[in-house]
């Protein structure tokens, strides 16, 4: 049986290598502005105001969080190639619900923004509770995009959010928004500074602009790798070999 197991694992490994090779080719293609993941028809699924309304998706779910007005909804619209899939507003604190979107191969959850000063204490506590219970169910979450403004230093809330994600061992990438508002040079400088402030490597930060589409392909590539990993984990969980393992445990007892 050991031998059989090894062969299966080797096969899985080979499959992964093939995928990886494909991705590397696509990385080359990306410089010619083509992306690995094509989003054809993203649709709104539902909104949730509290924990008992959260959905249990049957495909990888990626959560988008960040402070109020940072550009979460605009980021989602950029990925969807749609202008009004997620409601955007220049008035901060508009998204007060968890909004779920079906992107075909994955689900995106647009979370209520944090750190907006002009709301009541009660409302803030309600938002904090919603975010808290959303992230606590971490088995449902394949990845988190934590959005931060590329122009500014991370806020105290941003730092707390990162600490929270680390504490709950949630895999995340920091997406820097509104990169169109900075020169190329300034953007590079800011990426370096924000990474240092958050104690992250620069590769954990992706600069984007919903206005120009800058960085979109890199984000789609990240999503593709998240989906691939998640699906291969699910595949491995479902292989008969795991059932055999359980039987072995029974035999052993
Ligand atoms: N120039 C520029 N403006 C942006 C970009 N992304 C978002 N904005 C603007 O920033 C404002 C807020 O964008 P939203 O996408 O609504 O932000 P949000 O994080 O969803 O906001 P809440 O739901 O209120 O927390 C809007 O006026 C957008 O047009 C960007 O990449 N570049
Ligand atoms: Mg929003």
CATH number of the domain at 237, please.
3.40.50.300
CA proximity to 204, closest of 175, 228, 225:
175
Q: Is 209 in the pocket of ligand 1 (CB under 6 A)?
A: yes
pLDDT tens-digit series, residues 128-156: 888 888 998 888 999 999 999 999 999 99
Q: Would the CB of 73 count as within 6 Å of ligand 1? A: yes
Q: Is the CB of 212 under 6 A from ligand 1?
A: no
Nearest CA to 62 out of 176, 161, 146 is that of: 146
Q: What is the pLDDT of residue 239?
A: 62
- Residue 69 CA to ligand 2 center (angstroms) comes to 7
Q: What is the pLDDT of residue 198?
A: 95
From the CA of 210, the nearest ligand is 1
The pairing of strands 143-149 and 61-66 is parallel
Which atom number of ligand 1 is nearest to the Cα of residue 92? 24
Q: Is the CB of 177 under 6 A from ligand 1?
A: yes
Q: Which residues of the chain have pLDDT under 50?
A: 1-23, 25-35, 249, 251-253
Ligand 1 neighbour 222 (Cβ under 6 A): no
CA 134 to centroid of ligand 1, rounded, Å: 22
**How many domains does the chain contain in total?**
1
Note the pLDDT tens digit of each residue in 196-232: 999 999 999 999 999 999 999 999 999 999 999 988 8
Would you state the pLDDT for residue 8?
47
Domain that holds residue 66: 2-252
Q: What is the CA(176)–ligand 1 centre distance, in A?
A: 12
| This prediction's pTM | 0.81
What pLDDT score does 208 carry? 98
């Amino acid at each position: 049986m050991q031998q059989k197991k090894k062969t299966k694992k080797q096969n899985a490994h080979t499959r992964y290598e093939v995928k990886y090779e494909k991705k590397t080719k696509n990385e080359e293609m990306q410089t010619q502005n083509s992306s690995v993941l094509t989003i054809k028809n993203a649709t709104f699924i539902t909104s949730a105001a509290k924990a008992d309304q959260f959905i249990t998706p049957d495909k990888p779910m990626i959560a988008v969080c960040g402070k109020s007005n940072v550009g979460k909804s605009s980021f989602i619209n950029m990925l969807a190639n749609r202008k009004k899939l997620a409601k955007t507003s220049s008035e901060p604190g508009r998204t007060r619900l968890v909004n779920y979107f079906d992107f075909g191969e994955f689900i995106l959850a647009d979370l209520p923004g944090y750190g907006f000063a002009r709301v009541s204490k009660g409302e803030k506590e309600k938002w904090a509770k919603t975010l808290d219970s959303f992230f606590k169910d971490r088995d449902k979450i394949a990845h988190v995009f934590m959005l931060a403004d590329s122009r500014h230093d991370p806020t105290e809330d941003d730092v707390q959010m990162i600490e929270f994600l680390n504490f709950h061992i949630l895999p995340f990438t920091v997406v820097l928004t509104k990169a169109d508002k900075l020169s190329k040079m300034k953007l590079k400088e800011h990426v370096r500074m924000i990474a240092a402030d958050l104690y992250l490597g620069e590769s954990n930060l992706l600069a984007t602009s919903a206005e120009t589409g800058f960085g979109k392909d890199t984000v789609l590539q990240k999503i593709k790798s998240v989906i691939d990993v998640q699906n291969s984990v699910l595949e491995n969980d479902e292989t008969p070999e795991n059932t055999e393992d359980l039987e072995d445990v029974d035999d052993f007892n």
